[in-house]
A and B are shown apart, each in its own frame.
Chain A
Amino acid sequence: DIVMTQSPDSLALSLGERATINCKSSRSVLYSPNKKNYLSWYQQKPGQPPRLLIYWASTRESGVPDRFTGSGSGTDFTLTISSLQAEDVAVYYCQQYYSTPTFGQGTRLEIK
């Protein structure tokens, strides 16, 4: 299994601040033939299913606001929310789909 580890476990920020969530994989999820990182980010609000935000580590899913940005390659990845909005309160998960998929443990984002 590829183990995904997120940091921090929780984060409390003020509206308008930048949020940074990190995700580290135990092995590289970069597929050399196409140079794509098989890493996605999901947002889950209370009582709702997860929503895909980012795939291939940095490609925004259709309809996702541009304040959400994914970056990184190989084993280290970051989800950045440039200016925190009230509706961004949620738990965020990274997932690798390079091999049998696995999720990180989640990062809870709250408003301070």
Chain B
Amino acid sequence: QITLKESGPPLVEPTQTLTLTCTFSGFSLSTYEVGVGWIRQPPGKALEWLAAIYWDDEKRYSPSLKSRLTITKDTSKNQVVFTMTNMDLVDTATYYCAHGDTTRGMAVWGQGTTVTVSS
């Protein structure tokens, strides 16, 4: 059974860097065509895809946010770390990580972690 869990600070101040960790089980990020992605959802708004990292260490980022994002993986710990720099009030959202593959897209999602940007 595949599970994912997001962790990180619930509150971040403007201009700070957000660091979130996705800890997963039930699959290996060294398996062919497997990836882990990050998606966010501001309150009452739509889903926004942010970034993903794949079995071969390929990384993809949302073009509009690319300059602010970094994604890395630690295969031995079954973790993916996501950072977003220069946080702003509009970055307040629930942040999800999800297991993906090239066949199905994002098949299994974590429960999400809510991040509020406020001074």
Contact = CB atoms under 8 A, between A and B. Distances in A.
A66 interface: no
Contacts of A61: 104, 107
Contacts of A55: 103-105, 107
Contacts of A97: 100, 102, 105-106
Contact of B48 (A51, A56, A100, A103): A103
A106 B46 contact: yes
A8 interface: no
Interface string B49-89: 10010000000111110000000000000000000000000
A42 B100 CA distance: 13
Interface string A39-72: 0101010000111100110000100000000000
B63 A1 contact: yes
A103 B47 contact: yes
A100 B46 contact: no
Contacts of B63: 1, 100
B111 interface: yes
Given A1-B63, A100-B60, A50 B104 contact: no
Interface of A: 1, 38, 40, 42, 44, 49-52, 55-56, 61, 93, 95, 97, 100-106
> Ordered nearest first, which 4 A-B pairs have the shortest CB separation?
A49-B109, A55-B104, A40-B105, A97-B105
A59 to B, nearest CB: 8
B110 interface: yes
Given A100-B63, A103-B46, A49 B111 contact: yes
Nearest to B96: A49
A52 B107 contact: yes
A52 B39 CA distance: 14
B107 A93 contact: no
A77 to B, nearest CB: 13
Contact of B49 (A38, A52, A102, A106): A102
Contact of B109 (A50, A95, A101): A50
Contacts of A100: 49, 60-63
25 contacts: A1-B63, A44-B47, A49-B110, A49-B112, A50-B106, A52-B105, A52-B108, A61-B104, A61-B107, A95-B49, A97-B100, A97-B102, A97-B105, A97-B106, A100-B60, A100-B61, A100-B63, A101-B49, A101-B105, A101-B106, A102-B49, A103-B46, A103-B48, A104-B46, A106-B46
